[in-house]
Every structure is written in C-alpha cells, then in structure tokens.
Structure 1
C-alpha cells in the first residue's frame, strides 16, 4: 500500500510572535495546502516523529527514542489538551518489531506531548485528532542526542513495519529547520533551572507564563536583528531540504548534532525527525518531495518549511 511523508516546522511563536501580516497569510495558506495533500492521500494511519521541549520528557529519564502506546497533549503555547487518537495495539506491535530489529526502543503508556507534536495538525485541521496515530518521540533537545545515522536507521525500520501492514501510512515529521530558541544547557544552568530540566512536569500557570515570555522576548530581539541567538539560516535550510529531496539520505550520516547546533541553532537537531520520516518512506524506493512553503521567519525563531513526499512506484 502507498506510503507518504508530511513534514512541517512548528514554532511556539506562531500566534503571538513578531512578523508581517503577509507572512502570517502565507503560512496559513501553506498549512491549508498541506492539509489538502493529506486529505488526498487518505491515510489509514499516521506515524509521527517529533521532539519535545522539556514538557513531556525530562532528564530524570531521557530516552533517545520512545513509542507512545497512549499519549496526551499538555496544551502548551495555546495548543489543546486531550488524548491523542493512538492506535495502541499497533503501537505495541511496532515497538516489538523495533526491538526485534535491533532497537532498544522505549515505550510509554502515558506519553505527554507538547506543541512539537500537535501544533501542525491544529494548524491544518483545527484539532489533532484527524487521523489515527502512533507517536514516536525523538530526543532533539537534551544532549546526548541520537546520531543522524541512528535516526535514519530507525526510520527505515519503521518504514519496513509500515509497508508490511497493508495500510496507507503517512509518516509525519515536525520540527526545525534552523532555529535557536533560548533553551538552557543543564551543564551550565543554575540549580533551579536544572531541576526544571530534570523534573519539570506539571508547571504552574505562572511558571509556564514566565517561560513563554522569555521566548517571546527572544523572538522580538531576533526580529530586530539584535545579538543573543543565532539567526535563522536560509542557506543551511535550503541545503538540508535539497538533501531530503535527493533521496540519498545516507549522506546525512556524517552530520553531527554538535555541528548542527553550532550552525543551525540549539533547535536545529529537530531535523532528526525529518530524517527519520523520509527514511521510512525510502524503503518503498525512489520518491518525489515537494516543497510547499519555506520562509526564514526571524521573529518566530524558525526556518518554516512544509513538504509532502510520495513514492514514485506506480500503484495498481
């Protein structure tokens, strides 16, 4: 059965971050077009690779990869709270397949996801329950991070499992591209921040508001061109997009997350999710990948990209 990829950047500043009205209109148009691609594909199942931003996963136990058997949204940055429509039996089957395939995968029966998982679906459809889903967390923010090669191999394994289901499976990736949000480093953070990185679950409204205000202020400084964070790098993003479109994903194995953080920002490693999703599709052979939208939105601290890819293999 057909396989496809739907990928899009997310940003917590989409609602209140600084940018022009033209950009806002174009982003909304891009998400509408992306939704049309998804509707035309008519997936039976979505397998989504996405990061977390110290809202659901913390340094008390930080897996490289985790399959959600059940999952719920924490509702940060104006996203909705609630239970994701996880196909739990298939999620368990996938996790068992991955272990047999050589991945010491973690599982969660109470996964908490943040805007990194749900925002793009709310932008496309108004809620995050449009399609049955298996969420796969990839650690993109809490070093040590998985390697690009390992993310590619994980994606290929997921792709093999999906291809054997006989279902129309849409692989999804959310994150990136280049962006440098003010994420603290546990090695240098003050004690109270370290504690939040280790176990910051269920913050008070005051704590969440203060955190969001810091990010909003960073976005305003970025829009004004002030120093403090790396600017969104449109050239780096273009090169990465071209590498995905080439289909030669093994060329990305040589990338290191340290190098990506230095060039594309602290949030740059979120492209690990994109590598996994495109690798999952690649098991079906050559594919075409359309770039639906891209803009380096400095005030949103985001290289905003949207892509849709499908196998070139003819279908009966």
Structure 2
C-alpha cells in the first residue's frame, strides 16, 4: 500500500488547522504521516498541530517562498506519495483521500489534484473562479499543467527528480506539473476529492495574490503579456458574467453587487501589475506578498495560501 505523508504549509492558522486535521483523521484512508511547515506563526497553530501528532518543520520568514516551504516539508516526509494541502482547507467527505490517491495506481500519473469549493465566507466572484477551474467531472489524463497545491497529491519520486522551484513568487504547482508533463508524466484531476477552501482576504491581499502569481506566470511563460486595455476588458467581461450568474441564482444582494466589482478590479489590476513588471520584485514587495501588515500587526487574519487557488492568473480570457 502507498504510504502517504501530508505536507501542510501554515502561518497563523489556528482558526482553521484543527478542522483540517480532524478531517484527515476521519478519512477511510488516513495519511500515514502529518508534517506542518510553519513560517512564523504567533498564534496557537503549532500548538494545535503538535497536539494532533504533526511533525513541525520551521522556515524563517526571510527564507520563505511557497516552493521552498514545500521542499522543506517534502524533505522531512517519508511517504511514497506527498499530500499537499493548505492549512485553511478541509475535506468534505471521509473518502476524500481514498479517491485522491486512486490515479497513482497508474504509474504514468505523477500529479493529482482535487476539486475546491467555497463556503458562506467565500466572495461570490471567487466562487465563480472555483467553478471554472474545478469542474464537477474528473479528468484522468488532463494534458495541460494546471494543478493546485491547496489540494494535491504528488508522487515522491517525481518530486525528488524535479523539486519545486524556490524562486517563484507563486504557481509552483503549475511549474511543477509543466515540468512533469515534459518528462512524460500525466496530471489527473479528481472531482470526487473536494475540499472547502476558506479565503478571508482583504482587497489588498487579493490584488497582491494575483500580482505575485502574474509575476510567476511570466517567469514560467516569458512571452505572456497583458495590456491595460486587456486587463480592463477582462475585468468588465467578468463583472458582467458574475452579475448575470448572481441574478440567476438570486444572489445579487447589495454586498455581492459591490464585492463583485471590487474582486474583479483587484484581480485584474494585480494581474496587470504583475505582467507589466520588468524586473524581479524587491525585498519590500516580497514581504508584502508573503507577510501582509495584518499578520505582523496582529490585526485581521489573512490566509497566505496559494493558492488559488487556484483562482490563478491563468487569465480568464486571452492575456497573451
């Protein structure tokens, strides 16, 4: 039987980590090992994780990148398969992991990722992004490198060969899957393995998320561009689409009416700024990307995950 190590990245996740760990412990196929990669939590995240049997791996704030944190966690793992999940997700069903591991029965499959959905805290437009990128039907041989490390499983032997690129400001999952495909491996999407992905972000954090992911996307695909006109057109197109869907679902209340505009503005302004960057981000900008002021000052909690969820900049339209 495949031995599974769960690798969880976290920063100040005491509000969520317990629910994830309880969900993993309740699985019909439980992980054999739990590893928490903590990047400087000042709350009870580490205490909760340790009490639930997690092995703790620390990474200093000045060393943190998403890829480096994952590599540290994977180095500490002993499993044949590496379950990579954000600390602010939780599985919907007790057979979640049983479904997620199935594609690894095919030796050609190196990367598997599962469905993501929102809950009552999810911004309406974010829920539309999840619907677009995480459909209800599984795709056993995807053929393109989209994946998402908020809810993924990778073969350890493939990680040992490729590892995650540590210099990227995000999208380390996309880059990893791209290189795996180039080596002849396959990527599988499993709709029957859903998690709830909790994003409670300020508009500044949403913009920064898409900005750093655009910087990473441009690094992976250097010819990608986005003009100001394209960014505006994409924002308008998505706002109109969101309004149409929200009206059909009887969800076009005052809050959603305003939040749709705010989310799409933050998304595509961030994407435009990222694609327009002509040099690597400096230290101050990276600090804003990874450690927004709310974490440092002890204010409103923000989640640092990727995740983007994917909610990637993989723009919803032609950005090239």
TM-score, normalised relative to structure 2: 0.27
TM-score, normalised relative to structure 1: 0.27
